[in-house]
């Protein structure tokens, strides 16, 4: 009997030990580089906890203090002070990687050391996750962390459907919490021009409004809603959003589409077209044959004028020029385009697009910027200073990297988050098509089939949010979450992903989303992905 009691006691101790270990698992997204939780105990963060600021790290500390005010439901943010031994302390150290941080937690204090201000911010975002998902209790121990990729991006299309300034800020908040640092803002397309350009007020007066919106997959009249739709951002609003993102260490890369996907601009300024024909702001999705004329000097004057205003609004070194899906039918029939092909000694219309892209690239360089575009910019030849976004699969990215271009990998079959999340599509509403579940994103290898030389030019990874059927921010969030968590692990923790732990971590992350008031899709958690 005594021996039996001893066995029971041993088993009970083992169960308690496992339970204690389980309670001390951090379950962070994205996964940190190194974690040591051998120390016992917790530090408990409350609304009275102070933040001691060293090295003038006031800005990340204040942002964190305000986020904690929201979490605790208090009327004031956590207090920030210059001196103190207890509570949360933040500072920098040149021996920590620039975007990295180290966090040491004892029962008396939490010390976060960043390699820079942004490293401190990321450390505080980790702390925020731990506080929210563990009811304020932060396990004692040590974390050292830094990202794998320099460029960690997400895209937002505001042309097909327009999102308010507050919506875009909310989107930025979600990206920042996942430690992303780039927002690719798709501002112009066939279905709407969304950015004020002082030199051409017609672009927003006329080009921002379409007469109706396609709400089905068919082409019968019943599939359009018959309601005028539009919206645009003033330059002051653009500055406001850019500043808001910068405050959260996110750089906004604007996209001004050219020479295709420009029908909204053609509606506003018909002289931009080959035949100067009258066209409406497009009410369909897909690819229209109406493109900018690449044979007239006035087109280049227009593009340079627009980009001159754009570069003043966006501090980003990279400016996105689109360059994708440009039909050449109009150019083949255009006397101006054919004359330009002859004058420049070009072989065909493909090389004419290359000529346009090359001219725009040189203009951006003259403004102290660098060009980024979809992988079609490779078709006409670009210099090695251009950055390529590989969306038509991975081959364009591999080719660009091997020739020396920097590359952002964003293949459509893995990174288009407007695609369905389940095979059955049950309960998902109407979307554009495709199928990208959480696990497919999580298990993606961005370096697939690449040589070591090519890998050196892969600067980052991006997910894309096209908005053909995304009418409001709630729908955007449901398409984004939880897949953004999988993408953030690809971007930040590429070499330390673990299929054995990800579902447990996501159950914890789900609590974080709910505390933040963000909408997310249930399919992954229900096992329906």
Query: What are the two backbone dihedrals, phi and then psi, of residue 130, each rounded to the nearest 5 degrees?
Result: -65, -40
Rg of the chain taking only CA atoms, in angstroms: 25
Runs of H (alpha helix) within 110-234: 117-133, 165-177, 202-205
- CA–CA separation, 352 vs 373, rounded Å? 16
In the chain the first and final C-alpha atoms are separated, in Å, by: 50
189 as an active site residue: the answer is yes
Closest CA to 399 of 454, 461, 361, 462: 454
Closest CA to 387 of 197, 253, 477: 253
Q: What is the DSSP string of 440-476?
A: HHHT--TTTT--HHHHTTEEEEEEB---TT--SHHHH
457 as an active site residue: the answer is no
325 as an active site residue: the answer is yes
What residues contact residue 406 under an 8 Å CB cut-off, 6+ apart?
A: 387, 388, 457, 459
Catalytic residue from among 93, 117, 237, 325? 325
Using the 8-state DSSP alphabet, how is residue 272 labeled? G
- CA–CA separation, 373 vs 210, rounded Å? 26
Catalytic residue from among 155, 184, 261, 320? 261
Catalytic residue from among 67, 189, 255, 376? 189
- Under DSSP, is residue 152 helix (H, G, I), strand (E, B) or coil? strand
Residues 407/459, Cβ–Cβ less than 8 Å: yes
Residues that are catalytic: 189, 261, 325
């Amino acid at each position: 009997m005594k021996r039996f009691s001893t066995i029971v006691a041993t088993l009970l101790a083992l169960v308690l030990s496992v339970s204690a270990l389980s309670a001390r698992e951090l379950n962070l997204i994205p996964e940190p580089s190194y974690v040591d939780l051998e120390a016992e105990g917790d530090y408990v963060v409350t609304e009275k906890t102070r933040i001691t600021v060293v090295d003038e790290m006031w800005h990340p500390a204040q942002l964190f203090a305000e986020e904690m005010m929201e979490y605790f439901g208090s009327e004031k943010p956590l207090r920030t002070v210059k001196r103190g031994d207890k509570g949360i302390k933040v500072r920098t150290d040149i021996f920590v990687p620039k975007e990295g941080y180290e966090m040491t937690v004892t029962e008396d204090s939490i010390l976060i050391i960043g390699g820079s201000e942004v490293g401190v911010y990321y450390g505080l975002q980790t702390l925020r996750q731990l506080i929210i998902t563990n009811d304020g209790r932060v396990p004692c121990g040590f974390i050292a962390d830094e990202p794998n990729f320099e460029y960690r991006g997400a895209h937002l299309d505001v042309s097909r459907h327009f999102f308010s300034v507050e919506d875009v800020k909310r989107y930025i908040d979600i990206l920042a919490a996942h430690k992303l640092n780039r927002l690719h803002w798709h501002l112009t397309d066939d279905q709407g021009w969304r950015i004020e350009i002082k030199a051409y007020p017609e672009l927003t007066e006329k080009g921002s409004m379409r007469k109706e919106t396609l709400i089905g997959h068919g082409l019968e009249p019943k599939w359009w809603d018959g309601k005028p739709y539009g919206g645009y951002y003033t330059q002051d609003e653009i500055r406001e959003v850019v500043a808001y993102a910068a405050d959260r260490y996110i750089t906004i890369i604007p996209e001004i589409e050219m020479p295709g996907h420009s029908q909204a601009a053609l509606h506003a300024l018909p002289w931009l077209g080959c035949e100067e024909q009258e066209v409406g702001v497009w009410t369909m999705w897909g690819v229209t044959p109406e493109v900018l004329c690449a044979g007239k000097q006035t087109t280049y004057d227009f593009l340079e004028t627009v980009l001159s205003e754009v570069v003043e609004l966006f501090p980003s070194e990279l400016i996105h020029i689109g360059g994708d899906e440009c039909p050449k039918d109009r150019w083949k029939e255009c006397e101006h385009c054919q004359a330009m092909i002859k004058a420049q000694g070009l072989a065909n219309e493909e090389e004419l697009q290359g000529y346009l892209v090359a001219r725009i690239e040189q203009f951006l360089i003259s403004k102290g910027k660098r060009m980024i575009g979809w992988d079609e910019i490779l078709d006409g030849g670009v210099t090695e200073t251009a950055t390529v976004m590989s969306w038509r699969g991975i081959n364009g990215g591999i080719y660009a990297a091997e020739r020396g271009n920097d590359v952002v990998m964003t293949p459509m079959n893995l990174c288009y988050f407007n695609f369905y999340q389940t095979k059955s599509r049950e309960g998902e509403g109407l979307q554009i098509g495709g199928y990208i579940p959480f696990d497919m994103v999580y298990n993606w290898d961005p370096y697939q089939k690449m040589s070591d030389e090519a890998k050196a030019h892969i600067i980052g990874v991006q997910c894309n949010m096209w908005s053909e059927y995304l009418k409001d921010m709630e729908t955007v969030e449901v398409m984004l979450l939880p897949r953004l968590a999988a993408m953030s692990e690809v971007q930040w923790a590429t070499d330390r992903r673990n299929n054995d732990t990800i579902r447990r971590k996501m159950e914890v992350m789900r609590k974080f989303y709910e505390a933040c008031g963000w909408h997310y899709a249930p399919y992954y958690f229900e096992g329906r992905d």
